């Protein structure tokens, strides 16, 4: 906030500034402010009684007593490693953890306070020996609070000046002023930190200045000897002898041997996989290392293993797989382009020699542009901007499969399975997870097709408990999950003994360490590291009075305590590296250091930090890339930096990356967003969010759009972000929120000065609004939006927009039953697509035409259009388009009554969609399979498919799909005579449709619900559901819905008042039936009503049977067959 403000104006005269300007050279180096942010325990104490003392003694004697009393208190404070910040009259302020941290800072402050209270009693006894002061008694009121403060020098920076600022300091002062005399008061949050060490009593909820809510306050009662806290870290590899885990290691060995035995066998089986699940610090990485090291003694690890690890904080699309490629080809972000390309070419050539099948070898070689794209080797990279997101995803996922299979073939040539280690899966981005699932589903499909030996891969997956994406893993692998538990007491003591390396410590101290570590191997290692540091400083440390006080109770504070032992240069290097991230390049860090003219000690500090095990280095890498040995180390180092300093460091790093490595847009954005440079934040935020959206990461893209919307300075920028937000929201089915964003776009676009630009955005926005309205079933409003978009797009000759508008217009008219107008508009869309020379749009237009013919029951024309679409998608190599076309062809076969061919098509659609990892297309295919099972009367199988659909739609957050599936399940349960379940399904569907304004499906399933209530004799419920559908039928203006609504209205009237008049009214509708199917339904209902009155109209019965039999002959369906059977009997 104040980085560029000229505060110097307040500190010197104009003449001073003139002289300084003449004498001072231009300074280009950066400078950080002194100080840190850290959690500190603040103690305020106020001595009561000196007023009475002043009345009895000379002022000099009073001063002498006060001075000695404060010195007594200072000794107690320093005894517990506190620092006296200031004395003010008869008050004292002390800090614990401000200069050197420990987990026990709160406890130390309380212990010091208790001792101060005790020593004041002795002060009073000394004073009362004086006859003049026998009635005088001094008292002490103390307040303590632990919280985040800013520490540093103040004023003109005189030597030794040091203090702290922040809300935590103010609250400590308020605790003191509100405390009863003779007591120690803390707020609840601070009390919780120390409640295992002390007893407390609740005092009051205090109204405190500067706080909106009352503060719960507690008084210290006394000390109790208890322990108990928990913390988390990730264990470091190869630091100590390996202790325990024998059973788990045996599972690793057995499963690996099983995988090994299958190498070069032709029999196709599920690959072997092991999952290691545990909290941080429990040893996931370490147990894997222990298993692998014996194997790697016999065979070079690069020949038989791959290791991938996602970025822990930044969601980089395909980050997991990019890490694998970079490690395999030994490519660094900071190499020259020519060097990267040479390594890629050499690696591809070497690996391709192991691939026996020529077609597979060619697929692998042809994947080079994809690998170059992922590793940002621009000269050879795939032109991603020329591909649709679907096609880009497809190419990446197939290429990664070809790569993994190639490496597997090489490993198998040594008689061993490829060991594929996927570490930290809980940090995986969605694209990487998608690619992983695609790999699992499609592994060895080519070898199976060619009847060749399958590739053998041994999967090792490492993750924390929050990783739950295991459904595909468990279905596609022969999978075993290992849960790492805590070390027992014996194992913990063995580990401590090994780490202490001969240092003797008392048994009680050893037991305390074991107890406080809670069996976490990493915690045990950190305890001993801290202990060894203390013994280096003081050989008699273990003999000191309060050794327990020096043992940190949380790993966070333990790291800060150890960090405070570093020298100034080491600590600064560690802090600056922490801003870069958990992994950092020496090149980048060096450039940062140069900006502060601190290069002199940089090399030595880096070496020292490595020696002291703060950081580590991958020795196999050519570039000097380092990483924090523990994630929390980086987090703690970063947390100590002042906000002002973080701002400067993030800006410097972003500038360096932008200049030297501009392709790292996600990383650059994450640095700029932590600065006050809103222009750069906006620039890279737009680039980063757009890339995420294109790579199927809409939720991650939305986060960034939300972060940068406040930085939009112009209306054009705001519209750009709003469009990104709306399209991302539409992708995840959040239609209402997307509509709100589009409404905002329309308002902002009107304010643009550039008329053509305004029209371009308006055409886009109205088109998107129409898509949403169509999805919700507001067809008339959708058409109005499309007409607006069409008019504006025509004015500016936006051919691309016009093609999409006419296509959507045709689809809506199709839904409304206006098939002639639909055909006209769809053919216009096709004309514009051809004019634009966009073959992908042309293919989609044929698909839409097929839909129109399908609704018109023009089966032959529908099949021709879908087959044309199929041929074009095949020519383009667009597998998603192929999936769409095949599914559509299956729909035609359904109409033709060829259920077997229809099922083959939708199964093929499902397989293609699953191979692509396209969840939306997959779920539609599953729904089609469910519908086919339903049509042929296999309701149990239909139920299974629809339940699977429901699971996926809920996962995707697609409420429209969820509503439709609930309705389909209602249809199934109705057929299974599970009427109560059917009612619940229909009601769930209607409820969601009401929530999101989805009128089309609301009418469909409210009709079914009304029908079911009538069959169950629930007249009032039938009336209620009919009321909901009647209003929406009017809005939709769909002739089929209107006709059905008339039938149900008559059925309700008939139940209330069975009469010939109702039947007569229905008979008048026969000539208005919009389709043969609805005519059959109407005639069936007329006959049934006549049967209820005991007057069967034979003509109506005959006509009904004729229509139903004709329908069933063309498209055999169980509902037609049931009605025919009922009428014939």
CA distance 561 to 331: 37
Average confidence (pLDDT) over 19-34 = 57
Q: What is the pLDDT of residues 918-972, one digit of tens each?
A: 777 888 899 999 999 998 889 999 999 999 999 988 877 777 889 999 999 999 9
Average confidence (pLDDT) over 300-325 = 80
Domain boundaries, position 786: 714-797
CA distance 1059 to 1061: 5
Specify if 11 maps to a domain: no
Look at residue 958 in the predicted model and tell me its pLDDT: 76
Q: Coil, strand, or helix at residue 636?
A: helix
Q: What share of the chain is helix, strand, coil (3-state, %, to 5)?
A: 65, 10, 25
Pairing between strand 457-463 and 36-48?
A: unpaired
Same domain, 303 and 212: no
Q: What's the half-sphere exposure (Cβ side, CA atoms, 13 Å) at 322? A: 20
DSSP single-letter state for residue 208: -
Q: Which of 191, 223, 255 represents a domain boundary (last residue)?
A: 223
Same domain, 445 and 344: yes
Average confidence (pLDDT) over 582-599 = 85
Specify if 898 maps to a domain: no
Query: DSSP string spanning 327-383?
Result: HHTT--TTS-HHHHHHHHHHHHHHHHTT--SHHHHHHHHHTHHHHHHHTT-GGG---
CATH of the domain at 588: 1.10.10
Q: Which of 640, 672, 697 represents a domain boundary (last residue)?
A: 640
CA distance 636 to 614: 12
CA distance 802 to 793: 6
Specify if 913 maps to a domain: no
Query: 619-654 burial by CB neighbour count: b if 16+ within 10 A, else e?
Result: eeeeebbbbbbbbbbbbbbbbbbbebbbbbbbbbbb
Specify if 110 maps to a domain: yes
Q: Which of 797, 829, 852 represents a domain boundary (last residue)?
A: 797
Q: Which of 144, 148, 124 is nearest to 135 (CA)?
A: 124
Specify if 665 maps to a domain: no
Instruction: Work out the pLDDT band at 598, boundaries 50, 70, 90.
Output: low
Backbone angles phi, psi at 506, to 5 degrees: -60, 150
Same domain, 219 and 234: no
Cα angle for residues 1031, 1032, 1033 (degrees, 5° grid):
95
Same domain, 516 and 418: no
* More confident of the two residues 234 and 502: 502
Q: What is the largest CA-CA distance in the chain?
A: 127
Average confidence (pLDDT) over 595-599 = 73
DSSP single-letter state for residue 146: E
Same domain, 316 and 175: no
Q: What is the pLDDT of residues 48-79, one digit of tens each?
A: 988 778 888 888 888 888 999 999 999 999 98
Instruction: Work out the pLDDT band at 547, boundaries 50, 70, 90.
Output: very low
Same domain, 408 and 263: yes
Specify if 345 maps to a domain: yes
CATH of the domain at 122: 3.30.70.1230
Q: Above 90 in pLDDT, residue 996?
A: no
Q: Above 80 in pLDDT, residue 678?
A: yes
Specify if 694 maps to a domain: no
In 713-797 the beta strands, taken as DSSP E runs, fall at none
Q: Above 60 in pLDDT, residue 551?
A: no
Q: Above 50 in pLDDT, residue 813?
A: yes
Same domain, 234 and 214: no
Same domain, 67 and 114: yes
Asked if 801 and 831 count as a contact pair (C-beta separation under 8 A), the reply is no
Average confidence (pLDDT) over 630-655 = 87
Instruction: Work out the pLDDT band at 628, boundaries 50, 70, 90.
Output: confident
Query: DSSP string spanning 872-903?
Result: HHHHHT-HHHHHHHHHHHHHHHHHTT-HHHHH
Instruction: Work out the pLDDT band at 179, boundaries 50, 70, 90.
Output: very high
CATH of the domain at 718: 1.25.40.10
Instruction: Work out the pLDDT band at 284, boundaries 50, 70, 90.
Output: confident
Look at residue 226 in the predicted model and tell me its pLDDT: 38
Q: Above 50 in pLDDT, residue 383?
A: yes
Q: Which region among 503-512, 776-785, 858-867, 1118-1127 has the lowest average model confidence (pLDDT)?
A: 503-512
Same domain, 214 and 341: no
CA distance 933 to 753: 57
Residue 1058 tokens, joined: 């069975």
Look at residue 1100 in the predicted model and tell me its pLDDT: 82
Look at residue 1048 in the predicted model and tell me its pLDDT: 84
Average confidence (pLDDT) over 1036-1049 = 81
Contacts of 1015 (CB under 8 A, 6+ apart): 979
Instruction: Work out the pLDDT band at 268, boundaries 50, 70, 90.
Output: confident
Q: What is the pLDDT of residues 394-436, one digit of tens each?
A: 999 999 999 999 999 999 999 999 999 999 898 898 899 999 9
Average confidence (pLDDT) over 818-841 = 87
Q: What is the pLDDT of residues 892-911, one digit of tens each?
A: 888 787 888 999 999 999 98
Specify if 1074 maps to a domain: no
DSSP single-letter state for residue 34: S
Look at residue 953 in the predicted model and tell me its pLDDT: 83
Same domain, 157 and 242: no
Pairing between strand 82-88 and 91-96?
A: antiparallel
Q: State the chain's mean pLDDT as an integer.
A: 84
Which segment, 130-144, 784-798, 985-999, 1114-1128, is predicted with the most confidence on average?
Answer: 784-798
CA distance 553 to 104: 7
Q: Above 70 in pLDDT, residue 36?
A: yes
Q: What is the pLDDT of residues 1067-1096, one digit of tens each?
A: 888 888 888 888 888 888 888 888 888 887
Same domain, 217 and 106: yes
Look at residue 552 in the predicted model and tell me its pLDDT: 41
Cα torsion 1089, 1094, 1098, 1102: sign? positive
Same domain, 190 and 211: yes
Average confidence (pLDDT) over 863-892 = 88
Q: Which region among 231-235, 430-434, 674-678, 733-737 has the lowest average model confidence (pLDDT)?
A: 231-235
Look at residue 619 in the predicted model and tell me its pLDDT: 66
Residue 651 tokens, joined: 């800006």
Look at residue 158 in the predicted model and tell me its pLDDT: 45
Asked if 455 and 408 count as a contact pair (C-beta separation under 8 A), the reply is yes
Per the structure, the count of domains in the chain is: 5
Name the percent of the chain lying above pLDDT 90.
Answer: 37
């Amino acid at each position: 906030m104040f980085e560029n403000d000229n505060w110097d104006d307040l500190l010197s005269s104009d003449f001073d500034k003139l002289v300084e300007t003449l004498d001072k050279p231009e300074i280009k180096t950066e400078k950080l402010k002194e100080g840190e942010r850290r959690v500190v325990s603040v103690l305020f104490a106020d001595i009561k009684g000196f007023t009475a003392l002043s009345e009895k003694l000379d002022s000099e004697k009073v001063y002498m007593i006060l001075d000695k009393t404060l010195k007594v208190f200072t000794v107690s404070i320093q005894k517990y490693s506190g620092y006296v910040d200031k004395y003010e009259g008869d008050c004292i302020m002390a800090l614990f953890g401000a200069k050197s941290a420990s987990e026990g800072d709160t406890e130390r402050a309380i212990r010091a306070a208790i001792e101060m209270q005790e020593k004041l009693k002795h002060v009073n006894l000394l004073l009362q020996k004086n006859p003049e002061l026998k009635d005088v008694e001094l008292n002490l009121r103390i307040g303590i609070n632990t919280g985040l403060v800013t520490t540093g020098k103040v004023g003109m920076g005189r030597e030794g000046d040091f203090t702290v600022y922040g809300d935590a300091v103010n609250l400590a002062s308020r605790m003191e002023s509100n405390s009863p005399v003779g007591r120690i008061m803390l707020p609840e949050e601070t009390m919780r930190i120390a409640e295992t060490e002390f007893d407390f009593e609740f005092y009051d909820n205090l109204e405190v200045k500067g706080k909106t809510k009352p503060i719960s306050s507690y008084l210290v009662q006394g000390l109790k000897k208890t322990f108990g806290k928990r913390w988390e870290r990730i264990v470091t590899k190869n630091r100590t002898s390996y202790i325990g885990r024998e059973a788990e290691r045996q599972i690793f060995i057995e499963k690996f041997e099983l995988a090994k035995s299958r190498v070069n066998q032709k029999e196709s089986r599920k690959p072997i996989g092991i999952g290691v699940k545990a909290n941080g610090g429990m040893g996931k990485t370490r147990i894997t290392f222990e298993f692998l090291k014996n194997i790697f003694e016999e065979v070079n690890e690069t020949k038989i293993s791959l290791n991938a690890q996602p970025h822990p904080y930044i969601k980089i699309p395909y980050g997991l797989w990019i890490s694998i490629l970079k490690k395999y080809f030994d490519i660094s972000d900071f190499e020259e382009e020519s060097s990267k390309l040479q390594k890629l070419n050499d690696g591809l050539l070497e690996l391709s020699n192991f691939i026996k099948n020529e077609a597979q070898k060619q697929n692998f070689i042809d994947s080079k542009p994809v690998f170059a794209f992922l590793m940002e080797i621009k000269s050879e990279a795939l032109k991603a901007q020329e591909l649709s997101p679907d096609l880009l995803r497809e190419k990446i996922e197939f290429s990664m499969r070809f790569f993994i299979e190639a490496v597997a073939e090489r490993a198998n040539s040594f008689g061993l399975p490829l060991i594929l280690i996927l570490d930290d899966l809980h940090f995986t981005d969605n694209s990487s997870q998608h690619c992983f699932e695609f790999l699992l589903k499609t592994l060895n499909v080519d070898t199976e097709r060619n009847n060749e030996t399958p590739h053998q891969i041994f999967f090792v997956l490492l993750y924390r408990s929050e990783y739950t994406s295991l459904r595909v893993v468990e279905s596609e692998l022969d999978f075993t999950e290992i849960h790492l538990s805590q070390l027992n007491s014996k194992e913990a003591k063995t580990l401590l003994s090994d780490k202490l390396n001969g240092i003797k410590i008392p048994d009680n101290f050893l037991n305390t360490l074991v107890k406080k570590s809670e069996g976490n191997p990493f915690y045990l290692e950190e305890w001993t590291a801290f202990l060894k540091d203390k013994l280096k400083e003081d050989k008699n440390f273990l003999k000191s009075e309060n050794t327990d006080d020096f043992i940190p109770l949380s790993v966070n504070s333990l790291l800060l305590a150890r960090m405070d032992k570093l020298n100034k240069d080491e600590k600064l290097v560690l802090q600056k590296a922490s801003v870069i991230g958990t992994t950092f390049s020496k090149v980048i860090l060096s450039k940062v250091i140069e900006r502060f003219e601190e290069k002199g000690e940089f090399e030595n500090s880096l070496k020292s930090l490595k020696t002291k095990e703060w950081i580590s280095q991958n020795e196999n890498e050519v570039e000097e890339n380092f990483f924090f040995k523990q994630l929390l180390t980086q987090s703690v180092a970063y947390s100590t930096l002042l906000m002002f300093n973080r701002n400067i460091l993030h800006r410097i790093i972003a500038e360096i990356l932008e200049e030297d490595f501009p392709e790292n847009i996600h990383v650059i954005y994450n640095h700029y967003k932590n600065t006050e440079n809103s222009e750069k934040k906006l620039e890279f935020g737009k680039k980063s969010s757009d890339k995420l959206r294109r790579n199927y990461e809409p939720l991650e893209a939305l986060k960034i759009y939300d972060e940068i919307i406040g930085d939009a300075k112009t209306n054009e920028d705001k519209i750009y972000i709003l469009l990104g937000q709306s399209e991302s929201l539409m992708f995840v089915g959040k239609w209402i929120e997307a509509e709100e964003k589009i409404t905002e776009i329309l308002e902002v676009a009107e304010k643009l000065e550039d008329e053509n630009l305004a029209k371009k955005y308006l055409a886009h926005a109205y088109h998107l609004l129409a898509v949403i309205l169509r999805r919700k079933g507001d067809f008339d409003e959708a058409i109005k939006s499309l007409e607006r978009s069409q008019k504006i797009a025509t004015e500016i000759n936006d051919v691309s927009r016009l093609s999409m508008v006419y296509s959507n217009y045709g689809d809506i008219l199709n839904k409304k039953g206006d098939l002639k107008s639909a055909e006209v508009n769809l053919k216009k869309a096709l004309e514009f697509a051809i004019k634009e020379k966009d073959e992908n749009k042309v293919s989609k237009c044929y698909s839409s035409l097929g839909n129109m013919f399908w609704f018109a029951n023009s089966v032959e024309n529908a099949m021709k259009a879908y087959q044309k679409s199929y041929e074009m998608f095949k020519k383009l190599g667009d597998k998603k388009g192929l999936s769409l076309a095949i599914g559509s062809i299956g729909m035609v076969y359904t109409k033709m009554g060829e259920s077997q061919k229809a099922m083959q098509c939708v199964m093929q659609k499902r397989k293609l969609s699953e191979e692509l990892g396209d969840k939306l297309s997959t779920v539609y295919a599953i729904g089609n399979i469910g519908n086919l099972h339903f049509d042929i009367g296999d309701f149990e199988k239909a139920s299974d498919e629809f339940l699977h659909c429901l699971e996926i739609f809920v996962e995707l957050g697609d409420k429209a799909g969820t509503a439709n599936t609930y309705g389909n399940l209602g249809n199934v349960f109705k057929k299974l005579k599970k009427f109560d379940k059917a009612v619940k399904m229909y009601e769930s569907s209607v409820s969601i449709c009401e929530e999101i304004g989805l009128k089309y499906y609301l009418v469909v399933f409210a009709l079914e619900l009304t029908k079911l209530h009538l069959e169950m004799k629930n007249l009032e419920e039938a009336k209620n559901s009919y009321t909901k559908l009647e209003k929406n039928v009017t809005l939709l203006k769909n002739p089929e819905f209107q006709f059905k609504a008339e039938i149900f209205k008559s059925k309700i009237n008939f139940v209330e008042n069975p009469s010939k008049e109702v039947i007569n009214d229905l008979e008048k509708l026969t000539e208005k039936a919009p389709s043969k199917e609805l005519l059959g339904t109407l005639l069936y209902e007329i006959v049934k009503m006549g049967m209820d009155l005991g007057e069967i109209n034979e003509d109506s019965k005959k006509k009904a049977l004729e229509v139903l039999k004709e329908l069933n002959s063309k498209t055999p369906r169980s509902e037609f067959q049931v009605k025919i059977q009922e009428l014939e009997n």
